[in-house]
A and B are shown apart, each in its own frame.
Chain A
Amino acid sequence: MSATGTITDVIALLKSRIGVDGEPVTATIEAGHVKRFVEAIGDPNPRWTKEAPPTFLVAIAPVSLHMADAEVYGTGWLNGGNRFEYLAPVLIGDVITARGHVADVYDKRGSSGAMLFIVFETEYTNQRGEPVARLRGTLIRR
């Protein structure tokens, strides 16, 4: 198979998975994990001993899917952007389930060469089934 064929195939494969949820991941918001996270980002706000800081949910479950399949395209990954929507506080001890899917796949050819864009969406719910947050992220393969 030619490289071009492979790239067309991988885009078609990823497109075929748009909207299909990946396996849900459930995790407890652990005080120790949040502590390591806020130490890593250097945010000493005491609020984070009770509650998860704004970007913490990315640490409880993978925020992307099918990445290995896309690696035939280009040589490296870049993060294009993230959007968090907050619906309810995420507290230490909450049990959060993350459900993610691919929302869009497209490629672009520009001055810096060809790039493949994969948009992922993840919805997070708590132990009462309440939605707490949504995350949208764009990963770029180039």
Chain B
Amino acid sequence: MSAPAIGQELPELVKNPTTRQLVQYAGAQGDFYEIHYDQAYARSVGLPGVILHGLLKAAFLGQLVTDWLGGRGELVDFEVSYRGVDEPGRPYRCRGRVSNVDGNDVELEVWGEDESGKRTTVGTARVRLS
């Protein structure tokens, strides 16, 4: 793979989360907040239905970065901000691009998009190439 250059896009990662996956994730993380698996509860607090865990979306974006990075280096830091809710049963597109290169230090802008193209999660990852 060629050296990262500013503007270069990361290969897109499309996830198709299901309610089953939300339950799996709830168990694996140990986050049993009802908005992630109980439809009636989720609606009672003003949500359209059960929603993805923010940290599940962070994990998807983490995979986007580590798949792109491969064995070329290490993650230095990774920051995500949750801007909107996402429901299971809809594709979740993880995308990113190289936003800065300073020697072996590379900064990536990453985001997750819902079906309408809205960026419901935005973040930054910094990696150091070895």
Interface residues of A (CB under 8 A from B): 33, 36-37, 39-43, 45, 47, 53-55, 58-59, 62, 75-86, 89
Tell me the interface secondary structure of chain A in the complex. mixed
B59 within 8 A of A: yes
B40 within 8 A of A: no
B108 within 8 A of A: no
In whole Å, how far is A41's beta carbon from the nearest beta carbon of chain B?
4
Complex Cα–Cα for A89 and B66 (A): 13
Contact check, B77 vs A86: say whether CB atoms are below 8 A apart: yes
In whole Å, how far is A87's beta carbon from the nearest beta carbon of chain B?
9
Binary interface encoding of chain B residues 53-75 relative to chain A, with 1 for a CB under 8 A from any of its CBs, else 0: 11110111011011100000011
Contact check, A82 vs B66: say whether CB atoms are below 8 A apart: no
Q: A53-B66, A54-B66 are in contact. Are A41 and B77 (CB under 8 A)?
A: no
Complex Cα–Cα for A59 and B29 (A): 4
B1 within 8 A of A: no
Q: B residues within 8 A CB of A79?
A: 53-55, 82
Interface size class of B (residues with CB under 8 A): 20 to 34
Binary interface encoding of chain B residues 76-91 relative to chain A, with 1 for a CB under 8 A from any of its CBs, else 0: 1111111000000000
Q: A37-B29, A42-B21, A58-B55 are in contact. Are A53 and B62 (CB under 8 A)?
A: yes
Contact check, B54 vs A84: say whether CB atoms are below 8 A apart: no
In whole Å, how far is B13's beta carbon from the nearest beta carbon of chain A?
9
Q: A40-B24, A80-B82 are in contact. Are A86 and B75 (CB under 8 A)?
A: yes
Contact check, A53 vs B63: say whether CB atoms are below 8 A apart: yes
Complex Cα–Cα for A114 and B43 (A): 20
Q: B residues within 8 A CB of A76?
A: 35, 45-47
Contact check, B27 vs A82: say whether CB atoms are below 8 A apart: no
Contact check, A82 vs B59: say whether CB atoms are below 8 A apart: no
Contact check, B21 vs A55: say whether CB atoms are below 8 A apart: no
Complex Cα–Cα for A42 and B14 (A): 11
In chain A, what residue has the closest Cβ to B23?
Answer: A40
In whole Å, how far is B91's beta carbon from the nearest beta carbon of chain A?
13
**A to B CB contacts below 8 Å, 5 in the list:** A41-B59, A53-B59, A53-B62, A80-B81, A82-B54
Contact check, B55 vs A55: say whether CB atoms are below 8 A apart: yes
Q: A residues within 8 A CB of B30?
A: 59, 62
| Contacting residue for B21 out of A40, A58, A62, A84, CB 8 A | A40
